[in-house]
Structure 1
Amino acid sequence: MKAIILAGGKGTRLAPYTTILPKPLMPVDDRPILDIVIHQLVHYGIDEIILSVGYLAELLEAYYQDGSRFGIPISYVREPEPLGTAGPVALINQQHSLDETFLMMNGDVLTDFNYRHLIDYHNEKNGILTIAMHTKQQKIDLGVMHVNDKYELTDYIEKPTLDYQVSMGIYVFDPAVLKYIQPGVRLDFNELVLSLVKKHREPVFGYPCTDYWLDIGRHDDYEQATEVFMQHKAKFLGEE
């Protein structure tokens, strides 16, 4: 199975580090975060990786080269201009023929996720797209009021904790999705999902995940990722 890794963003929230390094090359302990991702994909049976690159693409290409030292073929697709988080798929299809089920993910997530379970789940559901999702909790430090249409109080909850499902930035696509992505047109992932569900009535599923997951988007996330990886390195690298 092919895996597309989105690695073209500027990582502006991690500036000034990302003024000289693309975010996927940011070191987590003794290796770039993208090294960890690639190691995991190889471990779970992915046999080809395509990096969608843009910002500082030459550094990623120089570091990963053809992928031989990772034991997997790695190729690159450069966006001529930013195409969003879903738009690059059409460009990649033109160069690599995505004619089978494929995985796509962000290149800056730290997780001990079992990718094989997600792929098997997608195949069982037989949908056009499966999104790995994680439960996040939000503590509300105020009293929350519930009212009816007449503003009559029906409930009052003091400082509740709310659960909600978020995308982990890891997806499995059926190739049928390609007919909904126009080559050369900017398209973000949320726009694609809403189009599939609301306009085209295509089956899209969420895969509930309880594994560790962290999106490395901010400075405090980066510090946390480094600390957690150092403590549980063997687990993240599939050596436990």
Structure 2
Amino acid sequence: MKAVIQCGGKGTRLRPYTAVLPKPLMPIGSRPVLELLLKWLRRNGIREVFVTTGYLGHLIRSFCGNGEQWNLKIVYTEEIEPLGTIGPLTLVREHLDDTFLVLNGDVLTDLNLSQFAHFHRRQPGPVTIATAVRTIKMDFGVIEEVDNTVVEFREKPSLPHLVSMGLYCMDPEVFEFIPDGVPFGFDDLMLQMLENGTSVHVFKHHGLWLDIGRVEDFHRAQDVAWDDQSAAAEPKAA
């Protein structure tokens, strides 16, 4: 299976750090997040990777080269104008002729790709979303009402939500929904598919997932012992 890593974003949530480095090269311990991601892909049997670049893309290409240091083949694309989170896939459309993986360049996880791909292939529809549960603390008191009468009140509750991990299994049929040469986000893709009545499935992951584009996850990632044998070990002792 081939993988596409989306690395074209500006990383605005991590400014001012990303004014100097693109988000995929932000250090986790002594290694850039992109290096950890590429090693994780290789451990999971991926050999061919397409990296979409835009903002500070020359630094990503200089660091990763052709991928031979990780026994990978890396091919790059460059967005002249931003194409959103899904639009860049059209730049490598002709290479994606079978089930493929798409992931953001700021994701760290211990997801088992074989299980993910096997689940995807058993479902109808060209897209499966890897998901995790995140608990979001509300900043407000939450009111439940019936006919303008309060029936329940919760002060700043923490509410669980099933969220996208920024990691997807796709089939080439997905390109029927993605226009060429214009910005197109994953939200646009979902709206198109749902309006068309096309099934979209979720794979629920219960292990490690960090989105290092979020400041909290970036700091948490520094406390995880990353090694070459597994996606991550236990958090380091204080």
Residue by residue, what CA displacement relative to the aligned partner does 1:86-113 show, whole Å, maximum 9, x if unpaired?
10111221xx421111100001112112
Q: 2:181 aligns with which of 184, 187, 195?
A: 184
Which residue type is aligned with residue 191 of structure 1? D
Aligned to 1:236: 231
> Distance between the aligned counterparts of 2:137 and 2:232, measured in 1?
32
Give the structure 2 partner of residue 132 of structure 1.
Answer: 130
Match of 2:201 among 192, 202, 205: 205
String of CA shifts for 1:5-32, please: whole Å, max 9, x gaps.
0011111221222122111011111211
Is the CA contact 1:6–1:53 (under 8 Å) kept in the aligned structure 2?
yes
User: Aligned residue for 2:223?
Assistant: 227
- The TM-score normalised by the length of structure 2 is 0.91
Shift of 1:226: 1.1
2:214 to 194, 218, 229: 218
Deviation at 1:128, TM superposition (A): 1.2
Instruction: Give the C-alpha shift of residue 120 in structure 1.
Output: 0.9
Between the aligned partners of 1:181 and 1:143, the Cα distance in structure 2 is 40
TM-score by length of 1: 0.90
More helix by share: 1
How big is the alpha-carbon RMSD for the aligned residues of Structure 1 and Structure 2? Answer: 1.9
Any idea what SS the aligned residue of 1:132 has? strand
* Equivalent residue number for residue 236 of structure 2: none
Contact 2:84/2:185 (CA < 8 Å) preserved in 1? yes
- Give 1:154's aligned residue: 151
Partner SS state of residue 96, structure 2:
coil
Percent identity reads 40
**In the TM superposition, what are the counterparts of 1:1-240 in structure 2 within 5 Å?**
1-93=1-93, 96-140=94-138, 143-148=141-146, 150-157=147-154, 160-198=157-195, 200-229=196-225, 235-236=230-231
Q: Which amino acid aligns with 2:55?
A: Y
**Whole-Å separation in 1 of the counterparts to 2:142 and 2:60:** 48
Q: Helix, strand or coil: the match of 2:223?
A: helix
**Larger deviation, residues 150-159 vs 97-106:** 150-159
- Give how far 1:162 is off: 1.5
**Matched positions, count:** 233
* Alpha-carbon shift at residue 41 of structure 1 (Å): 0.8
SS in 2 for 1:5: strand
The answer (yes or no) to whether the contact 1:67–1:74 under 8 Å persists in 2 is yes
Would the alpha carbon gap of residues 237 and 139 (structure 1) be closer, same or farther in structure 2, given more than 3 Å must change? closer
